[in-house]
Structure 1
């Protein structure tokens, strides 16, 4: 790892699936002091993504209520309207439009705003802080603490607003759960940030990668969303897990205290893989998967219906990959039609 620590890397689908579901490989142990580190991005020990056992199950149960099929499906009209507005703006820009800044990036914030109750006007502050938080470059490492404080302060302020003026959104519901004593204020802040960060950054990258694959890959425009997720996961590797006892994976013994990461990208391209692991597996499988799927299933067909001749621009600099991020993605995707 960039830290100098060593970790086991899993690239086989069956072994990766088993590792992600093995309770002996602990997320909580991976964020404790002295655990092997992969870089500057260490989630809070109180985050739902950093917990095991009963504490994890309790917080996940609270959050899962927002991502039922019925609740997510109810957001379809909001997403469809947002897609049409964004496509109108792309058309106004004309050939040479950037689909990252003009389409893939703003759409997830609209979806999250509708579900969680996050004002769209807050996006610039949040966008900059989250992007910096996932930056693995030396510059990103130096500025990380400042951006963590920005995000915590932002979420704390937003939740205070929900206490004063509650609405029908998830964050207002979580505030009510906190008042009932089911979760603490710290857990509430971390849960709100986890849902917002996971649902925004990765979805924006996932949409841009799916568009890029349709523009440059060997797949037809009508290919299934699940296949695009398999081919181009925006999260290429899992968060580290640390063995709390010796564990045998794929014939290799992972000793107690050693760390394991699963390459979701490699596992997805394993010839023997029956399904993809883009959303992970086991108790930490992505809660927001239904919302991601809904956005892709609306945004991709409508993009090509509106611009059937869509193609990647031949101009220099039309495709720019993002560097130094935990998530994969492009920062610029200029198209013509």
Structure 2
């Protein structure tokens, strides 16, 4: 397996810029803590399903940390076992394949509106600010029940919470309190005027005693934050990959039957989330050629696992017909991303509409047509200028 130094991957933490040939390697994270980094696809799947690697232990105060952009303890992403299953069950119905498919016409209308604006602005427009950022925000606000005119209440604050270098823990704490205050106010308004949305459904679950007020607040913010930042990143990264390999974009335009497998390949090759959340071993666990001791931290490199030649015959290439192994971008096991069907649908619609409207789409000429976000817990672009 090659080092992850491809210029198209953008800035990565230093501990990720290494070979994954050994499968499991010791690393020191930016937080200064020692971890085992899992780079082997099969071993990654094992870690993500083995109950001995605990998410709940990983958010305790003295657990090893990868960075300070970690979920709070009452988040569904920070729980194990029955607590995790209880919270997941409450919201999973909103993310079934059938329910998500029903949102397709709405997402298509939104995408067309943003592309109309791009066309009016003309070549040289920024696809990130013009499409990749507003679309996921509108979709999530609609699903959860956030009034569209209030989306600015959390958009800028969310980026601060995902920032792992530029903002201090104190700034993050203040932004988190501001977001909690907004969500608490929105919940009270939903109680007075319930609607057919996910937040109203979650309020009903709280009233039935199925989740606490703290869990309700955290769940609302988690669904918005996680689904927003990662989908913005995934749209930008996927379009960049296609435009930096122009033949792939051109060929895809004439083969709509290849859209779905191409989306899966783009998710595999350039995931917005490069790493799993941290896990801590609750007992000694043999893993590949090492033994992870109780109390030690484990991170799964989704980037390495997705490019593992032991699982993918064309690890660094976009395979036109897809590949047999399943990528790790949405995770694996009980913590697999709930929003995967919604993220996948948005990406498919965006690429389909772009190919139809702008068959000659290309990176803008001139210096720096794209700019990477740096210091974020997720990967993405702050700018992607395009011509056609």
**Equivalent residue number for residue 282 of structure 1:** 333
Cα contact 1:152–1:189 (8 A) shared by 2: yes
Q: Distance in 1 between matches of 2:289 and 2:224?
A: 38
The Cα of 1:275 is off from its aligned counterpart by 1.6
Q: How many residues align?
A: 337
**Equivalent residue number for residue 205 of structure 1:** 233
The Cα of 1:120 is off from its aligned counterpart by 2.0
Cα contact 1:40–1:144 (8 A) shared by 2: no
Q: Distance in 1 between matches of 2:167 and 2:157?
A: 14
Q: After alignment, is 113-122 or 185-194 more displaced? A: 113-122
Report 1:8-23 matches (<5 A): 8-23=36-51
Q: Distance in 2 between matches of 1:230 and 1:219?
A: 19
Q: Distance in 1 between matches of 2:386 and 2:170?
A: 35
The unaligned stretches of length 5 or more in structure 2 are 1-28, 253-257, 312-324
Residue 156 (structure 2) aligned to one of 93, 105, 128: 128
Cα contact 1:7–1:260 (8 A) shared by 2: yes
Q: State yes or no: 1:7 paired with 2:35.
A: yes
Q: Distance in 1 between matches of 2:178 and 2:269?
A: 34
**Equivalent residue number for residue 219 of structure 2:** 191
Q: Distance in 1 between matches of 2:102 and 2:186?
A: 24
The unaligned stretches of length 5 or more in structure 1 are none
The Cα of 1:276 is off from its aligned counterpart by 0.5
**Equivalent residue number for residue 50 of structure 1:** 78
Cα contact 1:75–1:114 (8 A) shared by 2: no
**Equivalent residue number for residue 107 of structure 2:** 79
Instruction: Encode CA deviations 1:261-297: one digit per residue, 9 max, x unaligned.
Output: 0000110000122220000001100000010111111
Q: State yes or no: 1:309 paired with 2:337.
A: no
Q: Distance in 2 between matches of 1:316 and 1:205?
A: 22
**Equivalent residue number for residue 4 of structure 2:** none
Q: After alignment, is 281-290 or 145-154 more displaced? A: 145-154
Structure possessing the higher relative contact order (Cα contacts under 8 Å, 6 or more residues apart):
1
Q: State yes or no: 1:267 paired with 2:295.
A: no
Q: State yes or no: 1:332 paired with 2:383.
A: yes
Instruction: Encode CA deviations 1:117-149: one digit per residue, 9 max, x unaligned.
Output: 122222223111110001011434442111111
**Equivalent residue number for residue 228 of structure 1:** 266
**Equivalent residue number for residue 9 of structure 2:** none
Instruction: Encode CA deviations 1:147-197: one digit per residue, 9 max, x unaligned.
Output: 111221121122112111110001111011111111111111111111111
**Equivalent residue number for residue 216 of structure 1:** 244
Backbone CA RMSD of aligned residues: 1.2
Cα contact 1:132–1:140 (8 A) shared by 2: no
Instruction: Encode CA deviations 1:77-132: one digit per residue, 9 max, x unaligned.
Output: 11010001000011111111000000011111121122111222222231111100
Residue 211 of structure 2 aligns to a residue in which SS? Answer: coil
Q: Distance in 2 between matches of 1:251 and 1:16?
A: 14
Q: Distance in 1 between matches of 2:169 and 2:205?
A: 35
Q: State yes or no: 1:247 paired with 2:275.
A: no
With normalisation by structure 1, the TM-score equals: 0.97
Q: State yes or no: 1:97 paired with 2:148.
A: no
Residue 175 (structure 1) aligned to one of 203, 212, 225: 203
Residue 347 (structure 2) aligned to one of 282, 296, 306: 296
317 and 278 in structure 1: CA distance in 2 versus 1, 3 angstrom threshold: same
The Cα of 1:218 is off from its aligned counterpart by 6.8
280 and 13 in structure 1: CA distance in 2 versus 1, 3 angstrom threshold: same
Cα contact 1:213–1:219 (8 A) shared by 2: no
Residue 181 of structure 1 aligns to a residue in which SS? Answer: coil
Cα contact 2:141–2:151 (8 A) shared by 1: no
The Cα of 1:43 is off from its aligned counterpart by 1.2
